[in-house]
Chain A
Amino acid sequence: MRRGPSAFNIAAIVLGMGFLYLPIVLLVIYSFNESRLVTVWGGFSTRWYVSLFQNEQLLAAAWVTLRVAFVSATLATILGTLAALGLVRAGRFRGRTLFSSMTYAPLVMPEVILGLSLLLLFVSVGVARGFWTVMIAHTTLTLCYATVVVQARLVSFDEALEEAARDLGAPPWKAFALVTLPNIAPAVAAAWMLAFTLSLDDLVIASFTSGPGATTLPIRIYSAVRLGVSPEINAISTLLIGLVATGVIAVYLLNMRRRTAAP
């Protein structure tokens, strides 16, 4: 479609983007509100950020969340890359249909079901719920997202390059590490980031699979939200949004530069 946008198109874009961003912008603005009341603007202040960093419970939860997200994202990216390799390159193998169903289903499966089923597994095996059970649950969910991201890149990569390396005598793992991996690296990095943020965000699955001592940040935020709107939640939300937005925009700009640098 090379004709320019019409007035109707522009209106649709402006309204759509306004709808997507207005609530977030308001939330960020009111995190700097001096007043405790949401609707009263009491002047600019960073006092809620200060009180955030004195809230030990919240800091502890944030630390748990970051650790879970880091470990599960790393594991999910490794497993997801392997899964993508199997799906794209292995051709037909026994159990392929089951395998691809299992990688796509969690993408749309209601989280309540995923959380409940994993909890039942942990209960019937008899492990205490905590850090590791949340980590396993998040890896299971995010590994599917990682697979899709890496798979999308892998299908457009010419396999013949790696075959050439093998024909020249490189063992399979070496041919993969030296030829394919550098080529799919942006997708692998994107997969890790997606897995990391999904784990950072998740409330439902973590609520089912975590135990005492492993309360994650979304669980804390959720219990605070149930008690009503407060400027502290706005402040921590703003920090989280800022963190994620910086990461996503940085990756985007890096990719843009790479694209324009390449002939």
Chain B
Amino acid sequence: MSVTGAPRPRRPWKGLGRPRGQPSSEARAAYAPFLWLAVFFLVPFLLVAKLSLSDVVLAIPPYAPRLDWSQGLGGVIAFVRALDFDAYARMGQDGLYLAAYLSSLKFAAVATVILLLVGYPLAYGMARCRPSVRQALLMAVILPFWTSFLIRVYAWIAILKPAGLLNMALAQIGLPPVDILNTDTAVYIGLVYAYLPFMVLPLYAVLERQEAGLLEAAADLGCTPLQSFWRVTFPLSIPGVMAGALLCFIPMVGEFVIPDLLGGSGTLMLGKTIWTEFFSNRDWPVASAVAIVLLATLVIPILLFQRQQTKMMEQR
């Protein structure tokens, strides 16, 4: 990957050959995926929003009102009138949802900080190796990203459970056993483990591109290695830090598999709440309301992430 710095020149002649106002063939190529995402991504969100305003009933599907097209406009009006904020009210009254909300944010934030502390030295070390070694190490970081998330989380159960491999190893060296599985500690271990590749890859991408000359210049100007790290290397790697943090933080807030398999009954996270409300309690409106609140919280980080992605694509 080489960085030339200057953006590629725009092509002023582009699109001159076709009539004004008519989309280019590339724009037309995007119609199919555009339509797909509109139908299977955008519309479903509107449905979640709608359902969060509905009520629970004992029926299949378990919510009301349902839009009755055969009634014409009257049906639509009756439908809109029947929508209310009951699900949100129920969510607000029960302290459990607020606790789950706050604890999700805490889990994701703390895990992101730990990921930075673990991932940065790893990415930095990789970037300083010879190119051939670097390639192999990069491959080694990417490989777990491709292997099943569920399986990697499962692997920790065998290690952390009371009669598991960790306690067996501790007993070997004469230390007392620890009880980690089904606690918040296990959730943190799982989060850091599962998301480490997502943190290392963007960090490595920025660190690998940094010029060695910069550090030499800093040293010539009298910086100690630690000073030149804080004054040169780290500030220049901020885009990678941001990308890695967003890439980990956003999905971790709504994580389900890790708190479900490694956490205990007291581990509260929104992803688990949505799952339980939906599958066990069959309270679809509240599940939707929780999803809407979660989404509203993540809108700003998601927009930041999109801006970063777009910028990165255009910088190449």
Contacts and interface: CB of A to CB of B under 8 A. Distances in A.
Interface residues of A, number: 97
B251 A116 contact: no
Contacts, number: 293
A225 B33 contact: no
B291 A23 contact: no
Contacts of A88: 26, 313
A222 B258 CA distance: 12
Contacts of A172: 25
Interface string A1-31: 1111110111011011101110110110010
Interface of B is mostly: helix
A194 B200 CA distance: 18
A252 B142 CA distance: 11
Contacts of B152: 23-24
Given A24-B144, A109-B302, A121-B43, A229 B158 contact: yes
Interface residues of B, number: 104
A39 B164 contact: yes
Choose among B32, B246, B247 the residue with the greatest number of A CB atoms under 10 Å from its CB: B32
B116 interface: no
Contact of B40 (A17, A105, A124, A136): A136
A197 to B, nearest CB: 5
Contacts of A12: 121-122, 124-125
A86 to B, nearest CB: 2
Contact of B148 (A26, A123, A237): A237
B291 A113 contact: yes
B274 A19 contact: no
B197 to A, nearest CB: 8
A35 B124 CA distance: 42
Given A24-B147, A79-B33, A110-B271, 18 more contacts: A1-B207, A1-B212, A5-B128, A12-B124, A12-B125, A17-B140, A24-B144, A80-B33, A85-B29, A103-B33, A108-B298, A108-B305, A110-B255, A120-B48, A136-B40, A139-B36, A208-B278, A229-B154
7 contacts: A16-B118, A79-B32, A87-B313, A112-B291, A113-B294, A121-B43, A218-B148
Interface of A: 1-6, 8-10, 12-13, 15-17, 19-21, 23-24, 26-27, 30, 38-39, 79-80, 82-83, 85-91, 93, 95, 99-113, 116-118, 120-121, 123-124, 136-137, 139-140, 143, 147-148, 151-152, 155-156, 159, 172, 194, 197, 200-201, 203-204, 207-208, 218, 221-222, 225-226, 229, 233-234, 237, 240-241, 244-245, 248-249, 252, 256
